Chain A
Amino acid sequence: MMKGSDSHADQPSAPSGDRILDQFFPEARAKLIDLAAILDRIDRYGGAEDYRLRAFHRAMEEVSRPGGADRARRVLECFSDPTTKPADKPVTPVATGAWAGERKR
């Protein structure tokens, strides 16, 4: 249940930045801590370094960059294949979530 300065726990009031913060802060906080724990886990198991993590760190920079209210789009673009030519054959058998770069052609 939402907690905040106004009495909007039962009835939706007009949307505002403060109200959105009230509603989503717990979720955002939990997701950020989970994210940190995942990166810690990778480190504790000896670390890893590949195109997925590189895209991930670029995306984190986009999350931190203010302005435009278009962070979700920018994050999605960090993981996306930016090329325009169709592939001759499937480059990777399944999507991994991040573009692997020009390879395995």
Chain B
Amino acid sequence: MRYIEPHGHMVSRTTDDYLAMVTAGCRAVCEPAFWAGFDRKSADGFYDYFCQLTDYEPKRAARFGLPHYSWLCLNPKESEDLELAEDVLALIPEFLERPNVLGIGEIGLNKNTRNEITVLERHVDLAASRGELILVHTPHLEDKLKGTRLILDVLDADRRIDPGRVIIDHVEEHTAPLVLDRGYWAGITLYPESKCTPSRAVDMLEMYGRERMWLNCACDWGVSDPLAVPKTALEMRRRGLSEDAIEGVLFHNPARFLQQCARFAIP
């Protein structure tokens, strides 16, 4: 079975994880910029991180023949400081030229504040003005429903944004229909302690359709499983999905979305 891991924070994983993913059939991994687990003190910290995402990490993955792509942004958790946000936003354009960059992400909201919305709008503007794809993080737990609605309002308000070029990640049963009904792609995140189990992920594919959905593990420094996507194939088989249908969701769907970026090559 082939699959693409469209959302993994590989900088926080071991090299053994790359080996395990490739062994399980992973053909490409995509890494959105995210929170380091602590707030960075300056734009220089982000400069180094963007170098890691666009230079060092692709080389580490290449040792296993695995194409590595990345998304760039200042994450919503660090968006409360508007001055820092402007400094980081100014850094991003030079990195967008690098060969493994897919677009702007994972942007979005965390605590649904006005400052976070301001920084989200700045990122959306940057993406729209350059025709970049967008990957959106939605808030966790009690903040997800409201955050998803606010994010959709920001995206809908920008006439340049084509919903087919935006994926809203970490959807659950109360947000997936909102996202799909407005024409956006939806990402389901398989995460052991929060978010979604493989069974619920397959439920959502059954309820909301497989057309504009992808599955990801979002593995990071938390309790997470870099093999959550291939493991979900087992539950898909139990529900009667054919091997073609499984590969359709786990490989062809992310490929179809990502190939809208000219820098992405189908692996």
Contacts and interface: CB of A to CB of B under 8 A. Distances in A.
A72 B145 contact: no
A84 B146 contact: yes
B86 to A, nearest CB: 19
**DSSP class of A's interface residues: helix, strand, loop or mixed?**
loop
Interface string B104-121: 000000111110110000
B159 interface: no
Nearest to A20: B239
B237 interface: yes
A90 B111 contact: yes
A53 to B, nearest CB: 14
Interface stretch (B31-39, B135-143, B162-170, B214-222): B135-143
A90 B140 contact: no
A80 B173 contact: no
Nearest to A89: B113
A103 to B, nearest CB: 13
Contact of B203 (A72, A80, A83, A100): A72
A95 interface: yes
A86 B203 CA distance: 31
A66 B139 CA distance: 29
B98 to A, nearest CB: 33
Given A73-B174, A86-B117, A81 B145 contact: yes
A81 B141 CA distance: 9
Given A70-B173, A73-B174, A77-B174, A96 B142 contact: yes
B177 to A, nearest CB: 8
Interface string A73-89: 10011011111101111
B240 A97 contact: no
B200 interface: yes
A81 B174 contact: no
Contacts of A97: 141-142
Contacts of A46: none
Nearest to B139: A95
B142 A87 contact: no
A60 to B, nearest CB: 17
A47 interface: no
Contacts of A84: 146, 149-150
Given A84-B149, A87-B113, A88-B113, 5 more contacts: A72-B200, A76-B174, A77-B145, A79-B141, A81-B145
17 contacts: A76-B144, A76-B173, A77-B145, A77-B174, A79-B142, A80-B145, A82-B145, A84-B149, A84-B150, A86-B112, A86-B117, A90-B80, A90-B110, A90-B111, A90-B113, A95-B143, A100-B142
